[in-house]
Amino acid sequence: MASNSRNHFSSKFGFIMAAAGSAIGLGNIWGFPTQTANNGGAVFLIIYLLMVFLLAFPILVAELTIGRYAQSNPIRSLKKISPKWKISWIAIISIVAVSLILSFYAIIAGWLIGYFISNGVKLLGMNNTANWLTTFSIARNLMLMIIFMLLTMLVVRNGIANGIEKCSTYLMPLLLVLFIIMTIYIFTQSGAKEGLKMYLIPDFSHLSFNLAISAMGQAFFSLSLGVCTMMVYGSYLKKDTNLPTIAAQVAIFDTAIAFIAGLLILPAMFVAQNNGVQIFSESGKLLHSDTLVFKVLPNLFNTMGTSGLVISSIFFLLMIIATLTSSISMLEVPVSCAIEELNQSRSIAVTWISVIIITISSIIIWNFNELFSFFVQLTTVYMQPIIGLFIALISGWLWNRNKVLQELKKGYANIQESFFWKIWPIYIKIICPIFMLLIFFH
Ligand code: PHE
C-alpha cells in the first residue's frame, strides 16, 4: 500500500480517544489495583506515577513520532529511521510480544463477557448457566476467549476510522463517569476508609527494587508501550498534530483512569472483606490475581440490591469495550505489517494472525497454572520495558536529531524554544536508558 493511501484518524479528538482506548484497559482496572494491593498500596502508587511521567511518557513521544514520521508499519518504520543498522528485528520481537499479550488478554477479557452475560441469564432464572459463566473451567474459558477474539477481528477488519475510532470516541468518557459514580457509592460503605488509607498513605517499608521493576512494567503495559502499538497508531496520525501534547493527554487520561480505578477497587476490597470475602492469603498477598475484579466488584454489586444488577451490567459492558479498544490496537500491529510487507488484504491478514493467537491462547487455557503468569511476566515485566529501552536508544542515538526536530515541528512550530525540546532529546538519549538499566541490573 502506498503511504498516501493509508487510512488516517479523522480528527484529533478521535485519535486521542483511540490511543487512550488502547492504553485504557485491563492494565488500569485489573493490573494496576492488583499490583497496588500486592505491593503495599500508596508506595506503589507513587513509584508508578514517577515511572509514567519520567520514563514512559518520553518513550510514548518517541514511539508516536517514529510512526508518524515513517507513515508505515513498524518493520518499515524502523528501517526508515536507520537504513544502516538492521533494527527492524525489534519490530519482529514486538510482534511476538504483542501477540503473546493478546493471547492472555483475551482470556481475561472473555471472563468479563461471562460476567456480563451471566447478569442477563440470571434475570431469566437460568442460575446454572449463570454459574457456569462465572466459574473457572477450560470449556468456559475457551468459549469466551473465542467470542472476544471474534469481536476483536470484526473491528480490526473494518479498519481505522470506521472501526477503532468510532468505538473509542464515545465510550471512554462514559467509562470515566461510571467509575466516578461507583467510587462515590463505595465511600458510603463501611470498611472503605481502611482501603483508602492503604491507597493514599505511604508506608515506605515496602519500597524495593522489585517494586520499581513491577511499577515500570505496569507503566509500559498501561501505556501500550514497547510493542510498537503506539508506533502504528502514530503512523495513522496527520502531520499537523502536536505530538508531545497529544502524548501528554493520553498519559494523563490513562493515569487518571488507573488512579480512579484504585480509588474504587482498594476501598471495595476492604468493604468486601468486611462482608466476609477472603481476599488476602496468610502471607499478605492477594489470594488470586483475579480476586479484585471478579470477586470484590461482584460482591460490591450484590450489596446494591436490584440496582446492582444494572450497574454491574453497565460496568462489565464498558469494561468489555475498554478491553476491546486495547485488543484491537494489539492486533493492528501484526496486521499492519502483514498488509504492507506481505501485500495481503486486511481480512486475510486479520484471519490468519487471529488463528495463531487463538491457538496460543488455547494452549495457555489448557495449562493455565503453568503458563498464564509466566506469559504475563515474560511480556510485561521483561519484553515491554526492554523493547522500550531500544526505542529510546534508537530515537536518541540512531535517528538524526535534526530529522526528529523537523518531524515534531510539523505540529508544533515553536518546539525549538520549548521546555520539552530542551530536555527530551538528552533525556531519551541518556537519562532514560541509564535509569532503566539501573533498575534492571540491580
Ligand atoms: N494498555 C493496555 C491496558 O492497559 C494493554 C496493552 C498493552 C494494549 C500493549 C496494547 C499493547 O490494558
Among 24, 15, 18, smallest CA distance to 257 is for 24
Cα distances from 69 to residues 63, 239, 243, 405, in angstroms, run 10, 8, 11, 11
Give CA–CA dist 206/351, Å, rounded: 46
Among 43, 137, 108, 71, smallest CA distance to 289 is for 108
Q: Write the DSSP string, 394-406.
A: IIIIIS-HHHHHH
Q: What does the mean pLDDT of the chain come to?
A: 89
Residue 343 sits in a domain of what CATH number? 1.10.4160.10
Q: How many domains would you assign to the chain? A: 1
For 288-330, the pLDDT digits (tens) are: 767 788 888 888 888 778 888 888 898 898 899 889 989 999 9
In this structure, are residues 139 and 124 in contact, taking their beta carbons and an 8 Å threshold? no
What mean pLDDT is predicted for residues 213-232?
94
In this structure, are residues 71 and 3 in contact, taking their beta carbons and an 8 Å threshold? yes
pLDDT at residue 2 above 50?
no
In this structure, are residues 349 and 338 in contact, taking their beta carbons and an 8 Å threshold? yes
- What is the grid cell recorded at 230? 503506539
Name the residue range of residue 405's domain. Answer: 3-441
Q: Is the CB of 22 under 6 A from ligand 1?
A: yes
Q: Is the pTM of this model over 0.75?
A: yes
Confidence of residue 135 (pLDDT cuts 50, 70, 90): very high
pLDDT of residue 1: 37
Give CA–CA dist 327/343, Å, rounded: 23
pLDDT at residue 286 above 70?
yes
For 237-255, the pLDDT digits (tens) are: 888 889 999 999 999 999 9
Identify the residue whose C-alpha is closest to ligand 1 atom 6.
Answer: 224
Three-state SS for 425? helix
Identify the residue whose C-alpha is closest to ligand 1 atom 9.
Answer: 224
Identify the residue whose C-alpha is closest to ligand 1 atom 11.
Answer: 224
For 362-378, the pLDDT digits (tens) are: 999 999 999 999 999 99
Q: Is the CB of 25 under 6 A from ligand 1?
A: yes
Q: Which atom of ligand 1 is nearest to the CA of 28?
A: 4
Amino acid code (one letter) for 306: T
Q: Is the CB of 326 under 6 A from ligand 1?
A: yes
C-alpha of residue 22 to centroid of ligand 1, in Å? 6
Give CA–CA dist 242/283, Å, rounded: 48
pLDDT at residue 3 above 70?
no
Q: At what angle do helices 74-81 and 88-123 cross, to 10 degrees?
A: 150
Q: Is the CB of 229 under 6 A from ligand 1?
A: yes
Amino acid code (one letter) for 278: Q
